[in-house]
Amino acid sequence: MIRNWMKQIHLSEQQPEQSRRRFLQTGLGACGILALPLTASIAEAAIRKPYEKKLSFLNLHTGERTRAVYWASGRYIPEGMRAINHVLRDHRTDERCAIDHDLFDLIYLLQLKLNTQQEIHVVSAYRSPATNAKLAAQSNGVAKNSMHTLGKAIDIRIPGRKLADLRAAAIALQAGGVGYYPSSNFVHLDTGHFRHW
């Protein structure tokens, strides 16, 4: 699902003569299950030139920030991906993982849906298997085979946005897993099959 949306945006970038109407028709045909406001937002973003995707993160545990372009002109940008991977590392062990680029795309789509480019506050991103095992032993709320250990999950909040609105927008995308943890003040996102809890 995420890749279908990204392919539509990438096609628009590679074929600038394609009209906006044609792009919308193609996007709606391929991804008709998504909400129309998201489609319009993506179409608007896709026809801007030069087209690039950037994300901003604040790691709440380390205080580190990054604002990086992770995709531009039809390709993922290794420097931008490395900068984000560094901030999203396991802060307990300092271990890094190549975060799934589909997760970046999911967060980017979520920002479009919410019409914001505000910094994402990260509660948890990559977790080493050792960290995850330790957390799972302390709490039954941590999955033993968590997608965090694969770089395919992130727990976030956005300042000034209601957590319930963030959850609703993520569910509306119907792409990946969405967990709602209001008592801990975060929403979990992952690139697995669509589900929510």
Nearest-angstrom CA–CA distance, 61 and 55 = 18
pLDDT exceeds cutoff 90 at 32: no
Write out the residue range of the structural domain in which residue 119 sits: 52-196
Nearest to 51 by CA among 40, 39, 42: 42
Q: Report pTM.
A: 0.76
Strand 65-72 with 177-181, pairing: unpaired
Same domain, yes or no: 112 and 36: no
Nearest to 39 by CA among 53, 52, 25: 25
Same domain, yes or no: 36 and 114: no
Same domain, yes or no: 83 and 42: no
Indicate the number of domains in the chain.
2
- pLDDT classification of 35: cutoffs 50, 70, 90: very low
DSSP code string of 41-60: HHHHHHHSSS-EEEEEEEET
Nearest to 64 by CA among 119, 131, 128, 135: 119
Q: Which of 32, 47, 62 is the last residue of a domain?
A: 47
Same domain, yes or no: 76 and 13: no
Block residue for tokens 């990946």: 176
84: CATH: 3.30.1380.10
Same domain, yes or no: 146 and 186: yes
- pLDDT classification of 171: cutoffs 50, 70, 90: very high
Same domain, yes or no: 63 and 86: yes
Q: Over range 166-177, report the average pLDDT.
A: 97
